[in-house]
Structure 1
Amino acid sequence: MHRRRTVIVVSAALVAAPVLTACGGTEHPGTAAVVGGDRITVAQLEGRVKEVRTAQRAAIPDDSQYQQTIARTSSLTRDTLRGMVLDRVLDRAAADAGVSVTRRDVGRLRAGLEQQAGGATALKSVWLDQYGVAPRRIDDNLRTEVEAQKLAAALGADMTTADGKAVFWKAMARASEELNIDLNPRYGSWDVQKSSRVDTRTPWVKEVTAAGERQAA
């Protein structure tokens, strides 16, 4: 229907992103990630996942279809953590560049997207189905959209060009270095080149995400 602006600004730049990987090798009991000295707890992560699963369950009353949705979004926990970490990296990069986002900015973007989607309810459905964003988190997500656009503009980065993408990701890499991102090994490690957490091959770490997904469902 329409493309996320973060996808346009951020994900489209991945081919030009620099390499920067956090160690991801330190155990933090009850912690999913440490970003700039601040913890993202496992409870916070599981709460975000539960929000999405609850919204999906409400939108898909048929058990068979719901199970198909769970299977299709089996990486929800990892994807959610990636988003939570990336948001903090973007916040730091934006602060470094003197960029700020207002409620009015977010409201304008949401109004335009709702018009494109055919109303507020339709927008919630699209964001939940296509992007795994719970209805209550849409404004947070759109704030990220605006912030990414403003950062690119502040940097003079034309995100349709390789040079522009390189400029944007240099700023993101610098922010990642400042934040010293450390993921719990069960979730992998952080790689700015992919704007994502990446799987860490640590066979001694038990994978618990599947169990967490079942509980959240």
Structure 2
Amino acid sequence: MIPVLGAVVAALALSACGSQPPRPGAAALIGPDKITIAAVEARVAEFRTQAAQLPAGQYQEQAGLVGATVSGMVFDQVVAHALDDHGLAVTDSEVGRLRDEQTAAWGGEQGLEQMLLLKHAVPAKEIDSFYREQLGLQKLAAMNGQQLGTADGNKAVHQLLTEASNELKVTVNPRYGSWDPAQAVLDGPSEPWLPQSGAAA
């Protein structure tokens, strides 16, 4: 059975903190670090380039790609901070083993890349980072004697990520939306700052 790791990410809440607006050029501020607008644009462009290579009709871009990209980039740093806070780490060998397992399960590298692109909006260059994040979430759950994907496991991880988010004072640029703590989603932007066309036809 292929482990379903990414699905729980959307169910884990991040509490937005901090009232200071992001600095110019910032898509989000996470503690002392900044996710730049240029980095978001590059990630979105990378996704669209890969999606455009899929067979016709396999993918049609939906609204929300840009916001989901910002959300994922913030989430990755919050997970990393939570792991560091508790002395946990994911090794390169652990990432490699999981990637090898998933590659075999999906019939090769191309199958893996297409699955992650379509199911989780993960471009090929970010696959290792995606698996590192998923393994990190598993370790946060295991730290509390729980399993990720269960009600108790998700609750335990949610609490740890909320604490990490509070410590980092996560702030998202309003052009990309705002954190909705109750729904654990990034509300949509008020303007289409990045073009929504250009993906696979």
Output the TM-score relative to the length of structure 1. 0.80
State the partner residue of 2:17: 22
Seq. identity, %: 35
- After TM superposition, the structure 1 = structure 2 runs for residues 190-205 of structure 1, keeping only pairs within 5 Å, are 190-199=179-188
State the partner residue of 2:60: 69
Tell me: CA distance 1:24–1:157, structure 2 relative to 1, closer, same or farther (3 Å): farther
User: 1 CA distance for matches of 2:15 and 2:131?
Assistant: 26
RMSD, matched Cα: 2.6
- Cα drift, residue 215 of structure 1: 7.0
Asked whether 1:148 is paired with 2:137, we answer yes
- Cα drift, residue 193 of structure 1: 4.6
Counterpart contact for 2:52–2:199, Cα < 8 Å: no
Task: Kindly name which structure, 1 or 2, has the bigger radius of gyration based on alpha carbons.
Answer: 1
State the partner residue of 1:58: 53
Quick check: 156-165 or 103-112, which moved more?
156-165
Counterpart contact for 2:17–2:171, Cα < 8 Å: yes
Quick one: which amino acid aligns to residue 177 of structure 1? N
Asked whether 1:98 is paired with 2:76, we answer no
SS at match of 1:59: coil
- Cα drift, residue 118 of structure 1: 1.0
Corresponding residue to 1:184 among 173, 176, 184: 173
User: 2 CA distance for matches of 1:4 and 1:133?
Assistant: 15
Unpaired runs of 5+ in structure 2? none
Asked whether 1:5 is paired with 2:5, we answer yes
Write 1 or 2 for the structure with the bigger share of helix.
Answer: 1
User: 2 CA distance for matches of 1:160 and 1:182?
Assistant: 27
- Cα drift, residue 163 of structure 1: 3.4
User: 2 CA distance for matches of 1:193 and 1:86?
Assistant: 16
Quick check: 189-198 or 117-126, which moved more?
189-198
Post-superposition CA distance 1:43-78 (Å, at most 9, x none)? 100000000000011224x4xx38x612xx321111
Aligned length: 200
Output the TM-score relative to the length of structure 2. 0.86
User: 1 CA distance for matches of 2:183 and 2:99?
Assistant: 27
